[in-house]
Amino acid sequence: MMEKRVNVRVRGLVQGVGFRMFVVREANARNLSGWTRNLPDGSVELEAQGTSGLVDELIRQVNIGPSKSRVTSVSVRETTIEKTNENFRILY
């Protein structure tokens, strides 16, 4: 299985609506490692690493978001794979 790591920026109504916990649940359900955090501009950033197809599934879920969110844009870029076996977590 191919592995990849992506950096994702999510914009819209994504803070104060349970978005980061949603991302953590979706990522951990797929055994992905990485993190998510709120940014000062109101967006959410995340990095996720794991099997390519499972990372793609997470990106699809992030485009939908939890019920109280309203995602207006998602930008994704591949980044360097890191040696890690940490669970997915909220940085802040």
pTM of the model: 0.94
The predicted structure's pLDDT at residue 47: 98
The predicted structure's pLDDT at residue 34: 97
Chain mean position to CA 37: 9
CA angle 53, 27, 68 (to 5 degrees): 115
Residue of 9, 25, 37, 38 marked catalytic: 38
5-64: pLDDT as tens digits: 999 999 999 999 999 999 999 999 999 999 999 999 999 999 999 999 999 999 999 999
Question: Does residue 30 carry a catalytic annotation?
Answer: no
Contact 57, 7 (CB under 8 A): no
Domain containing 48 — which CATH number?
3.30.70.100
The predicted structure's pLDDT at residue 84: 78
Sign of the CA dihedral with 12 first, then 16, 17, and 18 last = positive
The predicted structure's pLDDT at residue 1: 75
Domain that holds residue 43: 3-90
Residue of 11, 20, 77, 87 marked catalytic: 20
State how many domains the chain has. 1
